[in-house]
Amino acid sequence: MKEKSNSEVGRVMRDKEDERVDGSRRSWLIATTVAGGIGGVATVVPFVSSFAPSEKAKAAGAPVEVDISNLKPGDMMTVAWRGKPVWIINRTDKMLADVQKADKEVADPETKNPFSLPEPDYCKNEFRSRADHKNLFVAVAVCTHLGCTPTPRFQEGAQPNLPDNWPGGFLCPCHGSTYDMAGRVFKNKPAPQNLDIPPYMITGTTLVIGKDEKGEA
């Protein structure tokens, strides 16, 4: 076999070296491109997030729209507004009768001493709800004693931690305060005031919390 000359051997070695360099360069270019893409994402994300609401705006709380089309009589749902739970309850006729039954047992039946929100004018009635939707009860689920969240106890009658003549309502598990089906606190309980009623309005099957005919809260 004919041996290659020194010049041929050198040329082959240079070609291999060039291929290695070109391969390394391609790898470096790919890595640089990927890194550039990641860097692009890193610089874009903060820019995009600058359009998001500030923490102060979130704390202020924009109105919340809730679809109540599937809220059946006797059902309850909880949504968040201003960082607090808000109940929406479709009260039955029996529940409304329980409100009337509790009139003489609650500390402030007409909510003359509201808690942290002024009572909306349209809720200044026995059921604390809009007259054209008296079955719908909307209330901030925060006990007016020390801020715990009461639990629903809709069933009437004797139950643990409740009186034998319990008419149905809510029990705060922290210190035993009880509220009727209109969020009114019963007499001789730690909680000093009724549950807050936020401003709200109803349009069709949508309930808006934090806004009414007077504007946003």
The domain spans of the chain are 1-52, 57-216
Check residue 36 and give its pLDDT. 32
Residue among 208, 60, 81 at smallest CA distance from 141 = 81
- Is domain 57-216 given the CATH code 2.40.30.10 in the classification? no
Q: In the prediction, which pLDDT does 15 show?
A: 53
- Please give the pLDDT value at position 185: 98
Q: Under 8 Å CB-to-CB from 186, ≥6 apart: which residues?
A: 102, 105, 106, 107, 169, 177, 178, 179, 180
Provide the token pair at 47.
Answer: 């820019």
Which pLDDT score, from 0 to 100, does residue 8 have? 54
pTM of the model: 0.72
pLDDT tens sequence for the chain (217 residues): 445 455 554 454 555 445 544 444 443 333 333 333 323 333 233 333 333 344 554 455 799 999 999 999 999 999 999 999 999 999 999 999 999 999 999 999 999 999 999 999 999 999 999 999 999 999 999 999 999 999 999 999 998 889 999 999 999 999 999 999 999 999 999 999 999 999 999 999 999 999 999 888 7
* Secondary structure in 3-state letters for 143-169: CCCCCCCCEEECCCCCECCECCCCCCE
Query: What's residue 215's pLDDT?
Result: 85
At 30-87, the pLDDT tens digits run 333 333 332 333 323 333 333 334 455 445 579 999 999 999 999 999 999 999 999 9
The answer to whether the Cα torsion of 211, 212, 213, 217 is positive or negative is negative
